[in-house]
């Protein structure tokens, strides 16, 4: 064999060895766990706005820790479908309440790591505010199904990137949680 062939063989061997080592070391395996069906509960309710909470989890089942950089709760109610309420979303980590909408980056430990949990409990807080001079009761009586995207950014052994999950709060669930009677046309 020529020298070139030996170099190529050595390179291929190094790459195979690298993959084997990386496979043994493992990496983070982050996913979102949204209860199905999602069960909203009222966190606060006054005449001006109602805030619903929907718990969900971000879980790391991998062998390596991850850093959860950001979690964004993005309600997807289009006024073309229903313009009786405006919707605002916020993610709040369990045990770390914040008055602002900021999500503080945190470590999500590897599964079995004694330093901390591999499960991050988060509450999606959805605030519904009536529009067009309607009362809360009237605004919620015409509510439609509300899709909410949960967008989360994390980094571990792979570069940081966004992934997404989705909660769908049905009009019936919202009505039941807020004690409202739905009016269908």
Partner 1 sequence: MAKVQIIPVPTRILTQKDDIIDTVERYTKGKIGKNDVISVAESVVAITQGNFLRVDEIKISRAAQNCCRFIPDYGSLATPHGMQALMLAEGTWRVVFALALGFLGKLVGCRGLFYKYGGEQAALIDDATGTMPPFDKCVVYGPKNPQEVVDKLKERLGCYGAIIADVNDLKRSRIVGATAGMDAERAANLLIDNPFGNASQKTPICIIKNFA
When the beta carbons of 28 and 40 are compared against partner 1, the nearer one is 28
- What gap in Å lies between CA 79 and CA 104, rounded to an integer? 31
Strand extents, DSSP E, 22-118: 30-33, 41-45, 50-60, 66-75, 85-93, 106-108
When the beta carbons of 10 and 160 are compared against partner 1, the nearer one is 160
| The binder of partner 1 chosen from 40, 59, 65, 85 (CB under 8 A) | 65
Instruction: Work out how close the CB of 154 gets to partner 1 at its nearest, in angstroms, rounded to a whole number.
Output: 10
Q: How many helices (H) and strands (E) does the chain have?
A: 3, 9
Total residues contacting partner 1 (rule CB under 8 A)?
Answer: 23
Check residue 17 for interaction with partner 1 (CB under 8 A).
no
* Distances from the Cα of 49 to the Cα of 41, 42, 85, 128, 129, angstroms: 14, 11, 9, 6, 5
Assess whether the previous peptide bond of 37 is cis (omega < 30° from 0). yes
When the beta carbons of 46 and 100 are compared against partner 1, the nearer one is 100
The span of 17-25, 31-39, 121-129, 164-172 binding partner 1 (CB under 8 A) equals 17-25
Task: Mark residues 81-120: x for contact with partner 1 by CB under 8 A, - for none.
Answer: ---------------------x-xxxx--x----x-----
When the beta carbons of 21 and 78 are compared against partner 1, the nearer one is 21
Beta bridge pairs of residue 133: none
What is the DSSP secondary structure assignment for residue 109, as one 8-state letter? Answer: P
For partner 1, the binding residues (CB under 8 A) are 18, 21-22, 25, 64-65, 67, 69-70, 102, 104-107, 110, 115, 153, 155-160
């Amino acid at each position: 064999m020529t020298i070139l062939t030996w170099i190529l063989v050595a390179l291929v061997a190094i790459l195979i060895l690298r993959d084997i080592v990386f496979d043994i070391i493992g990496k983070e395996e982050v996913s979102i766990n949204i209860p199905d069906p999602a069960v909203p509960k009222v966190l606060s309710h006054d005449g001006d706005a109602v805030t619903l909470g929907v718990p969900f989890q971000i879980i790391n089942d991998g062998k390596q820790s991850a850093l959860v950089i950001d979690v964004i709760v993005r309600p997807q109610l289009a006024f073309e479908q229903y313009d009786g309420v405006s919707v605002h979303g916020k993610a709040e980590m369990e045990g770390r309440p914040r008055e602002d909408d900021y999500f503080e980056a945190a470590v999500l430990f590897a599964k079995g790591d004694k330093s901390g949990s591999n499960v991050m409990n988060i509450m999606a807080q959805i605030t519904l505010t009536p529009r067009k001079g309607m009362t809360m009761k009237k605004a919620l009586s015409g509510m439609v199904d509300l899709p909410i995207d949960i967008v989360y950014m994390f980094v571990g052994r792979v570069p940081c990137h966004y992934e997404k999950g989705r909660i769908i709060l049905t009009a019936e669930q919202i009505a039941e949680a807020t004690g409202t009677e739905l009016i269908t046309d």
